[in-house]
Amino acid sequence: MNLSREFDVIVWGASGFTGRLVALYLFNKYGATGDLKWAMGGRNLTKLEKVRDEVADKNIPLVIADSDDKVSLLNMVNRTKVICTTVGPYAKYGSNLVEACIESHIHYCDLAGEVQWIHKMINSHHKTAKINGSKIVHTCGFDSIPSDMGVYFIQREAKNKIGIIAQEIKMRVAAISGGISGGTYASLSRVLEEAQKDKTIYKVLTNPYGLNPTNDQIGEDKSDLKSVVFDSASKSWIGPFIMASINTKVVRRSNSISGHFYGKSFRYDEATIFGKGLFGRIKGILSTISIGLVMNAKHGSLLKKFLDSFFPIPGDGPTRKKMEKGYYNLRFYITLKDGSNAFAKVTGDMDPGYGSSSKMLAESAVCLAKDKLPNTSGILTPSVAMGNSLLKRLKKNAGLKFSFEN
């Protein structure tokens, strides 16, 4: 992208729980007057000024735009090379912005994990974004960078080190610690509400290849795990992983739109490890029941209202201490094309949803603005949009570690 614009990056939604973390990270890492020219964006100037004074300083410019005001969005996007947005639920606030970014021929990244909305963006805008040279990159947080970039890393290492790529990868969540924000809970509730009302959305959510191009939605992968079973790969009891629904589809989309870089018969799945023996099995069953309750509670029902009372409201989220003490450890059990096995790990140094996601999103935005990127455009995945450049940034700056052994 060879645009001359006032800013490299605008963080839109900087007054929200996660946007504020992204702005704080950019300020601490890149400063206010250095090589990266960036601004904080939002809909409310007074609130934005207050947050800017808390996380940065007066050298950071402020930009005002509202999701319902298309003119304000176009004025904002025309000033920058990249929009980095944390204004969610994205299905509620995000569509006009994606359209504006494509119209302005700029790049875009977000933290959306809302499958039904990403599906809508692909159907409505992939072709125009491709023609206009815009990289629209959803899922630049915990869903789905560790999975998508993890698989990309494994395939690259396998090819470079042993000359054979992976035929099947089983990602297992070995350890995870963190919390949830009101914005994320609102986004999850919105996905479930839309799926309960509209059968076509339910179909997209339950199709393992639901984010692939329409002419490439078949393959050997089945639906995500819904019960507790014994896993021969990790030799433990495993159960559902709540993010698998978006992550596995993103990995499959990466394979499809990269021209099947991982092979047409590549298989991928995700689950959570609960441990060995009876204790592991019971832990898995209890966790699966809780996930089932949240996922199946009908919108507007008493059960849903009861469950809502346990979650934060938009604007709130985990404490700084909880984020700093957080972590995640993902294991990848690999079967290579020749039938031999390999193993990989991806770990993160803060809580997945906020401490780590804000760094991943910020580095994605800087990567889109500053780095040499693959010649791809459209509604992309992180690995297809940014490849090795993002991998380097995640390792160097965002606290992620990737390892591979065979």
Ligand X SMILES: NC(=O)c1ccc[n+]([C@@H]2O[C@H](COP(=O)([O-])OP(=O)(O)OC[C@H]3O[C@@H](n4cnc5c(N)ncnc54)[C@H](OP(=O)(O)O)[C@@H]3O)[C@@H](O)[C@H]2O)c1
Contact residues toward ligand X (CB under 6 A) are 13, 15-19, 42-44, 47, 66-68, 86-90, 93, 111, 113, 141-143, 181-184, 187, 314-315, 317, 353-354, 357
Nearer to ligand X, 43 or 126 (CB): 43
Nearer to ligand X, 280 or 353 (CB): 353
* CA-based end-to-end distance of the chain: 38
Question: Minimal distance in Å, beta carbon 405 to ligand X?
Answer: 27
Question: Minimal distance in Å, beta carbon 67 to ligand X?
Answer: 4
Question: Minimal distance in Å, beta carbon 207 to ligand X?
Answer: 20
Question: Minimal distance in Å, beta carbon 354 to ligand X?
Answer: 6
Nearer to ligand X, 220 or 324 (CB): 324
Question: What is the C-alpha to C-alpha distance for residues 53 and 135, in angstroms, rounded to an integer?
Answer: 32
Question: Minimal distance in Å, beta carbon 139 to ligand X?
Answer: 7
Q: Could you tell me how far CA 258 lies from the centroid of its own chain? A: 18
Nearer to ligand X, 93 or 311 (CB): 93
Structure tokens at 239: 């159960």
Nearer to ligand X, 129 or 191 (CB): 191
Query: Nearest Cα to 145, choosing from 360, 365, 384?
Result: 360
Nearer to ligand X, 324 or 405 (CB): 324
Question: Minimal distance in Å, beta carbon 382 to ligand X?
Answer: 11
Q: Could you tell me how far CA 38 lies from the centroid of its own chain? A: 22
CA distances from 9 to 6, 76, 114, 152 (A): 9, 11, 23, 26
Q: Over the range 119-155, which residues count as b (16 or more CB within 10 Å of their CB) and which as e?
A: bbbbeebbebbbebbbbbbbbbbbbbbbbbbbbbbbb
Instruction: Please return the burial class of 335, using the count of CB atoms within 10 Å of its CB with bins 0-12, 13-18 and 19+.
Output: middle
What values do phi and psi take at 153, rounded to 5? Answer: -60, -45
Structure tokens at 105: 């021929």
Nearer to ligand X, 112 or 225 (CB): 112
Question: Minimal distance in Å, beta carbon 241 to ligand X?
Answer: 13
